Chain A
Amino acid sequence: MTSVWGLIAAALALASAVAWWRSRARARVLRTALEAKSQDLEQLQMAFARFAPEEIIERVVAEGVTPHGERKAATTLFADLVGFTTLSESIEPDVLVRILNGYFERMSRAITTHRGHISTFVGDGILALFGALQPNPWQANDAAHAALAMREELADYNRELAAEGLPTLSVGIGLHRGSGVAALVGSRDLMQFTFVGRTVNLAARVQDLTRRFEVDILLTRAVKDTLDGRFELRELPATAVRGIEGEVEIFAVESFSGEA
């Protein structure tokens, strides 16, 4: 009888040991998986910091997406390819995508080098912001330098495209400075950190005017007023634009005489 109880006790002890060992092993696996996920999350958070302020990312991580906006003064750069819609109908889709990606790559580099951040790509258009992520009293200079860098990058890219026998590109860039609301906006499925307000609309309208005046970079009086005097500008006639009351004073950017 004793030996039966002894066997039962031994079997129970063995079963407990196996269960304990299995749960330890399982916990170890889960812990490793959790650490890996935690590292992924950290890296994702660090990557997101390039697109939205850290505080907003942290708030999203801790509380989910909650409505929060901040009124800021920022400089908006709006760039659009001239005649790209027509071009897109005449070349193969794969070639089109390759040309467009090469263009975005170079323009993004020019913008981020000068402390701008890209809010969104709209078709072949680019909306970039200066001073929306962090306070930046030099935002107008940064945006104008970015526009000149985009001009240089595009000239370089066009040489590459021409060498391959591909059509070259031309761009119109509009810059405006003003206040607006910086916020994470969108739907539950798609959010982006952007700047909302008249400033963005006006930059887009000014960009439209580059076609009419046959220039590539235009900026408004609000940008000019805080711009480094070493930028060479050419004043153009004040022009009415859709959706904006009165006429808008505009200036074409020729060059910069100094070190950027």
Chain B
Amino acid sequence: MALENIEWLDPLVDRGRNRDLEKYAKRVSGSVPPHVPYLAACPWILRADLHFDTAMAEIQDLADNIYLVVSRDNSCRWCYGASRLLLRVAGMSNAQIEKVEEDVELSRVEPRLRDALEFARRVSRSNPAPDRESIQVLRDLGFSEAAIKELALFAAVVVFHNRFATLLALPVSTTERLASSPFARLLRFFPWGKLGTVLRAQPRVTAAAAADDEGPFADLTRALGDLPHARVLRDTLDGAWASPILPARTRALIFAVIARGLENGPAEAEARRLLAEEGLEFPLVDDILANLASPELDARESRILPYVRETIWYQPAPVQRRGKALREVLTNAELLDTVGTAALANMVGRVSLALEVM
């Protein structure tokens, strides 16, 4: 079923021009994707978006289905529409896509896909998070440790995409219209040129090799080993922390709130370590995390922290309305950076919960 009936607000952020970013997007993907202007004020989000693609080392055959199912699960009209469009361009009809969804829903798919999807959904929902038993099911089916890690990481990558697209209410109408069009299949004959590479690209790795892994959440990125997306995650975390829009303290607070909400002790401990580096120590952090408020928070943080808690589990329109209210007190760039950081913290929180029980 398409998600067109789900309420979706107009974009929360303004369109802007960032020629360097447009050139970068063109270099990576062969064209400038239509959502680039919405992310122009906060480049690290777009870089992550471009590099967190569907290129896998171990589970390439499962990637499209995971993207489709998790996006649908998260009611992300933007990602789900894009995912359907990709499948249409790849030659599937609407009926075939619906059949796949129906089969997944009714567990009529082969065990490898069925259990991988179940695991991916569990990572994405984290309610409850995957346990040893769910990982053993995958091992019994022959998934290697690297494949399980990649599965968890890719589900979390989809969480990242779903969150920033939904929280910003990126425009969905064109993609949805194209995906439903009877002519969508003809698009595969279009001379895409380098644009094709964005659909099936190998990630452009710019991060340090795993052995030199340092910086926020280095234990996690080290644990993910040499997976292509692990290196993109390292690069993204470093890019976020280098962003001059929000201070490092606010960013670490966002990670701490989301880790607390997900009941993820190790991620909260890492966020606390980062907060300590910024001069925020126990018991002040305890007080902030207990109530999402404190006289020690600045006016901006006092509005941001209650908002980011809403990004853990949500319905699209209500959370978009909360984001709209936040937009009234933040600049365009600050809202982008807040949403991107919340999306990244949700990704990190979920993948680390899965890895913890491996």
A interface vs B, CB < 8 Å?
35, 38-39, 42-43, 53-55, 61-62, 70, 133-138, 141, 226, 228-230, 258
Known: A54-B125, A62-B107. A134 touches B293 (CB 8 A): no
What is the 8 Å Cβ interface bit string for chain B, positions 82-120, against chain A (1 contact, 0 not)? Answer: 000000000000000010001001110000000000000
- Cα of A141 to Cα of B98 in the assembled complex, Å: 42
Q: Given the complex, which residues of A lie within 8 Å of B309, measured CB to CB?
A: 138
B289 nearest in chain A by CB position: A137
Q: Do residues B290 and A55 form an inter-chain contact, with CB atoms below 8 A?
A: no
Q: Is the CB of A42 within 8 A of B262?
A: no
> A70 vs B262: C-alpha distance in the bound complex, in angstroms?
17
| B261, CB-defined interface residue at 8 Å | yes
The CA of A62 and the CA of B109, in the complex, are separated in Å by: 13
Contacts of A55 in B (CB 8 A): 125, 127-128
B302, closest chain A residue (CB): A259
Chain A residues, CB < 8 A from B73 = 54
Report Cα–Cα, A134/B291, bound state, in Å. 18
- Per the bound structure, the CA–CA distance linking A133 and B126 in Å amounts to 12
Q: B261–A135 contact, CB under 8 A?
A: yes
CB distance from B298 to the nearest CB of A (A): 15
Judge whether B260 and A137 touch: CB under 8 Å: yes
B226 within 8 A of A: no
Name the A residues within 8 Å of B98 (CB-CB): 35
Closest to A49 in B: B315
User: Residues of B with Cβ closer than 8 Å to A?
Assistant: 1, 5, 73, 98, 102, 105-107, 125, 127-128, 260-263, 289-293, 309, 312-313
- In the complex, what's the smallest C-beta–C-beta distance from B270 to chain A, in angstroms? 17
Residues from chain B with Cβ under 8 Å of A135 in the complex? 127, 261-263
User: Which single residue of chain A is at the shortest CB-CB distance from B122?
Assistant: A55
Cβ contacts under 8 Å, B105 to chain A = 61
Cα–Cα, bound, A161→B308 (Å)? 39
> Which residues of chain B are near A137, meaning CB under 8 Å?
260-261, 263, 289-290
A169–B47 CA distance with the chains assembled, in angstroms: 57
Bound: A138/B291 CA distance, A: 7
Q: Which residues of B contact A38 (CB under 8 A)?
A: 1, 102
Contact of A226 among B127, B263, B290, B313 (CB under 8 A): B290
State how many angstroms separate the Cβ of B176 from the closest Cβ of chain A: 16
Q: Kindly report which residue of chain B lies nearest to residue A63, judged by CB atoms.
A: B107
Q: Are A134 and B127 in contact (CB under 8 A)?
A: yes
- Whether B313 and A134, one on each chain, are in contact in the complex, defined by CB atoms closer than 8 angstroms, is yes
A141:B127 contact, CB within 8 angstroms = no
Q: Which residues in B have their C-beta under 8 angstroms from that of A61?
A: 105
Q: Say yes or no: A258-B107 contact (C-beta < 8 A), given A39-B1, A42-B1.
A: no
Which of A43, A70, A138, A226 sits near B292, CB closer than 8 Å? A138
Q: How far, in angstroms, from A226 to B290 measured CA to CA in the complex?
A: 8
Find the B residue at minimum CB distance from A258: B293
Output the least CB separation between B231 and chain A (Å). Answer: 31
Contact B127–A53 (Cβ < 8 Å): yes
Rounded to whole Å, the gap between the CB of A255 and the closest CB of chain B is 16
Instruction: Please tell me if the beta carbons of B263 and A62 are within 8 angstroms of each other in the complex.
Output: no
Minimum Cβ distance to chain A for residue B103 (Å)? 12
Q: Which residues of B contact A54 (CB under 8 A)?
A: 73, 125, 127
Q: Which chain A residue has the least Cβ–Cβ distance from B313?
A: A134
24 A/B residue pairs, CB under 8 Å, sorted by A:
A38-B102, A42-B1, A53-B127, A54-B73, A54-B127, A62-B106, A133-B127, A134-B127, A134-B312, A135-B127, A135-B261, A135-B262, A135-B263, A136-B261, A137-B289, A138-B261, A138-B292, A138-B309, A226-B290, A228-B290, A228-B291, A229-B291, A230-B291, A230-B293
Query: Which of B1, B106, B262, B312 is most buried by chain A, counting CB atoms within 10 A of its CB?
Result: B1
Which chain B residue has the least Cβ–Cβ distance from A35? B98
Q: Which of B107, B128, B291 is A141 in contact with, Cβ under 8 Å?
A: B291
Chain A residue at minimal CB-CB distance from B261: A137
Contact partners of A141 in chain B: CB under 8 A: 291
Measured CA separation A144–B263 after assembly (Å): 21
A31 closest partner in B (C-beta): B95
Chain B residues, Cβ within 8 Å of A258 = 293
Residue of B nearest to A42 (CB): B1
A residues near B102, Cβ cutoff 8 Å: 38
Task: Report the nearest A residue to B72, measured CB to CB.
Answer: A42
User: Is the CB–CB distance between A228 and B263 below 8 Å?
Assistant: no
Instruction: List the 10 closest pairs (A to B, CB-CB), nearest first.
Output: A228-B291, A42-B1, A135-B263, A134-B127, A134-B313, A137-B260, A39-B1, A62-B107, A53-B127, A141-B291
Q: List 17 other contacts, CB 8 Å, given A138-B309, A228-B293.
A: A38-B1, A39-B1, A42-B1, A54-B127, A55-B127, A61-B105, A62-B107, A135-B127, A135-B261, A135-B262, A136-B261, A137-B260, A137-B290, A138-B261, A141-B291, A226-B290, A228-B291
Which residues of the other chain, A, contact B261 by a CB distance below 8 angstroms? 135-138
* A contact residues around B292 at 8 Å (CB): 138
A34 CA to B347 CA, complexed, in Å: 36
Closest B residue to A39 by CB, please name it: B1
Q: A230 contacts which chain B residues (CB < 8 A)?
A: 291, 293
